[in-house]
Amino acid sequence: MNKPVSVTVLQRYHRNGFNQRSRTIVYLAGASMFLFAITVLGTLLGDKAITTDFTQKNLLPQLSHPFGTDWLGRDMLSRTLKGLSISIYIGLFASSISAAIAAVLGAAAATLGKKVDAVITWFIDLVMGIPHLLLLILISYALGRGTFGVVVAVSISHWPVLTRIIRGEILQLKEANYIKIAEKLGQSKLKIVVKHMLPHVFPQFLVGLVLLFPHAILHEAALTFLGFGLPPEQPGIGIILSESMKYLALGMWWLALFPGAFLLLTVFLFDRIGESLRKIIDPHSAHD
């Protein structure tokens, strides 16, 4: 008789971990491809998102116009894709700048002494102590609003959390034996940070960068919705949602429903990409 093959707890753990890790990779690839497709389609649409056709105005969602049309006959699917692509571009650019600021300040706070650390920590507490949306509005308004104001406002208001993470990681690294050996060998602080510390914290930096995207996209849309962001001639998601508010009472529900739903879907996918990336980079978190 054949003896039943027993599966140990460790084998089952590794099997489940592999399956979950594989699913995480597939999910990451699928979400990334979907967002990439939205960005490319929105870019290729060109002026179609602002093209008016008064013979097609106020149409309900149908086969020829899946998201309906607005009061000027503009196709809402085209406007939604174009608006999302603009939000994604702004979010990516602003998040990259914010993450770079966080990396520099986090490394400086952890390596340049107590005085520098105290100053940077004070700035972190100051920025985090101001209501986030209020800070965004003040910065954007001071810079004349528009795309430049939005990018700067988002960039210089999203770095504190990531700065704290990088600072904490580097402070722990300073106690590592290989860092102490490098110091005794006479290597400069800059060389130690660039060569030994930053590569070690790069996974945390990358995950933090990706997780900044949904915040940046939401805050860009919020600023634009409140009138402190992109100009009205640009079909940003905030502009679309702001313009649709006055027509909801007339029963034109599709003007806000589909753009709002796709905005939330985009933010959700970016958040899931960040979490999936964290699980892939950190093997222990893949089994959480």
Q: Minimal CA–CA distance to 149: which of 218, 80, 83, 227?
A: 227
Is-contact 128 70, C-beta < 8 A?
A: no
Residue 8 has a pLDDT of 53
**Whole-angstrom Cα distance, residue 107 to residue 154?**
21
What residues have CB less than 8 Å from 57, skipping those under 6 apart? 69, 70, 71, 72, 73
The confidence score (pLDDT) of residue 11 equals 52
How far apart (Å, rounded) are the C-alpha atoms in residues 95 and 84? 16
Distance CA 76, CA 60 (A): 10
Provide the pLDDT for residue 13: 45
Q: Give the pLDDT of residue 286.
A: 46
CB–CB of 87/266 below 8 Å?
yes
State the Cα–Cα distance between residues 90 and 4, nearest whole angstrom.
Answer: 59
Identify the CA nearest to 236 among candidates 102, 89, 93, 104: 89
Q: What is the pLDDT of residue 281?
A: 73
pLDDT at 282: 63
| pLDDT per residue rounded down to tens, the chain (288 residues) | 444 444 454 455 455 545 566 777 777 788 888 888 888 888 888 788 888 888 888 889 988 889 989 888 899 999 999 988 988 888 888 989 999 999 999 988 888 888 999 999 999 998 888 888 888 999 988 888 888 888 899 888 888 989 998 998 888 888 778 788 877 877 777 788 888 788 888 888 888 888 888 888 888 888 888 888 888 888 888 889 988 888 888 888 999 999 999 999 888 888 888 777 777 776 555 444
What's the confidence (pLDDT) of residue 24?
73
**CATH, domain 36-48+71-281, list 1.10.3720.10, 3.40.920.10, 3.20.20.60, 3.30.56.10:** 1.10.3720.10
Cα-only R_g, the chain: 24
Instruction: Indicate the domain borders of the chain.
Output: 36-48+71-281
State the pTM of this model.
0.80
